[in-house]
Amino acid sequence: MRYLVPCLALAVMMAFAIARFAPERMPQMVQGDDALSVAFADAKAVLSAAMVQKADSYFHGGIDMECSRWKGARDHEGHEEHDGHCEHHHGGEPSAPADPWLWINRRVRAPERHVHLDGKKSVELLPWFWASVKADPHNIDAWTTAWYVANNEMKDRDLARQILDEAKAKNPESLEIAWTEARFVYAGGKGDVAEAERLLEAARSMGKRKCGGDLSALSPHEAEAFCGILDYLSKIYEGRGMKDAIRPLIDEVRATGTDSPVAAWMLDRL
């Protein structure tokens, strides 16, 4: 018992020492100093991803696309039937005697028609994206998808702007958010093109700064966003007849080392 306090003190000191001298080797990286971040750390990211998955399920009218065995949707509007791995395990529609439990489950938990939640009804997706970014403000996928829903589905540009502003405030160094903002301002060529160009150039500089000039060092997500940024810049240059300005962009896309189709699109613009 008399060794308990010194041992505990030693353990605490060692824990702090390891965190201080080898932070990159710590199993969890706490992003933020609020109580939720300290208490749950990486669990918040998992929770956040689960919320995005829930929003995806809402988009598909309540069907969990992670396991489509249960849906058995007879009529799927909009796109091809999603056949998840679970479907293949059991070889299609079971007869009642073969697996009565599966037979019941499919009929209780599957809609007759697979419909998508689009247009104004997409507002139902927003609470899950909101919960997702509350759990993990660095979930870029949640921010950009929430923006897409507000901008492209609900056609509510004020709401889309508000989501972007929040996303930028929480993730000022995100290339994906910067690219999204530029697309929002560009608005398919009908928006403020000069402002979009300024934003795209700023994002391009940020991308180069983040990787220290070595574009192949960008993460796959960042490289994809960087190529997208260059793609939009090339569209703007093409519109102005500045075809010479597109060539360096093609070199930069190739320098990312990805198999992005953007370089081919740019070549078509020359």
Partner 1 sequence: MKTLIRQIKALVRLSFMELWRRNDVLALVILALALMVPLSLSSPFGAAGASRYLDEAALLLIWAFSLFISLGTGARLFPPEFESRTIYPLLAKPISRGALLAGKYLGAVAASASALAIFYLLFVGCSLLRGGSLSMEVLQGFVFHLAFVALAVALALAGSLVVTPSANLTLSATALTAMFFFGRRLPDYADAVSAPLSWLVRLAYALGPHVEFFDMRQRLIHGWGGVDAVVFAAVLAYAVAYAGVCLVFAWLILKRKRF
Task: Give dist(CA 116, CA 121) in Å, integer.
Answer: 9
Q: Which is nearer to partner 1, 90 or 240 (CB)?
A: 90
115-121 contacts at long range (C-beta below 8 A, 24 or more positions apart): 115/61, 115/77, 116/59, 116/60, 116/61, 116/77, 116/78, 117/58, 117/59, 117/60, 117/61, 118/153, 119/153, 119/154, 120/153, 120/154
User: For partner 1, which residue of 44, 58, 174, 178 counts as binding (CB under 8 A)?
Assistant: 58
| Residue 46, C-beta contacts closer than 8 angstroms, at least 6 positions apart | none
User: For partner 1, which residue of 52, 150, 263, 266 counts as binding (CB under 8 A)?
Assistant: 150
Q: Is 202 in the site for partner 1 (CB under 8 A)?
A: no
User: For partner 1, which residue of 36, 47, 159, 255 counts as binding (CB under 8 A)?
Assistant: 159
Site string for partner 1, 162-201 (x = CB under 8 A): xx--x-----------------------------------
Q: Is 111 in the site for partner 1 (CB under 8 A)?
A: yes
Contact 164, 181 (CB under 8 A): yes
Q: Is 123 in the site for partner 1 (CB under 8 A)?
A: yes
Q: How many whole angstroms from its chain centre is CA 208?
A: 21
User: For partner 1, which residue of 30, 56, 61, 202 counts as binding (CB under 8 A)?
Assistant: 61
User: For partner 1, which residue of 45, 128, 140, 263 counts as binding (CB under 8 A)?
Assistant: 128
Using CB under 8 A as the binding criterion, the count of chain residues that bind partner 1 stands at 39
Q: How many whole angstroms from its chain centre is CA 270?
A: 31
Q: Is 107 in the site for partner 1 (CB under 8 A)?
A: yes
Contact 129, 146 (CB under 8 A): yes
- Give the count of beta carbons closer than 10 Å to the beta carbon of residue 164: 22
| Residue 233, C-beta contacts closer than 8 angstroms, at least 6 positions apart | 197, 200, 201, 204, 249
Contact 173, 218 (CB under 8 A): no
Site string for partner 1, 209-238 (x = CB under 8 A): ------------------------------
Q: CB under 8 A: which stretch of 21-29, 106-114, 171-179, 205-213 binds partner 1?
A: 106-114
**Measured from the CB of residue 99, what is the shortest distance to partner 1 in angstroms?**
8
Q: Is 148 in the site for partner 1 (CB under 8 A)?
A: no
Instruction: Please tell me what DSSP assigns to residue 25.
Output: G
Q: Where on the chain is the footprint of partner 1 (CB under 8 A)? A: 58, 61-63, 67, 69-70, 85-86, 89-90, 99-102, 104-105, 107-109, 111-112, 120, 123-124, 126-131, 146, 150, 154, 156, 159, 162-163, 166
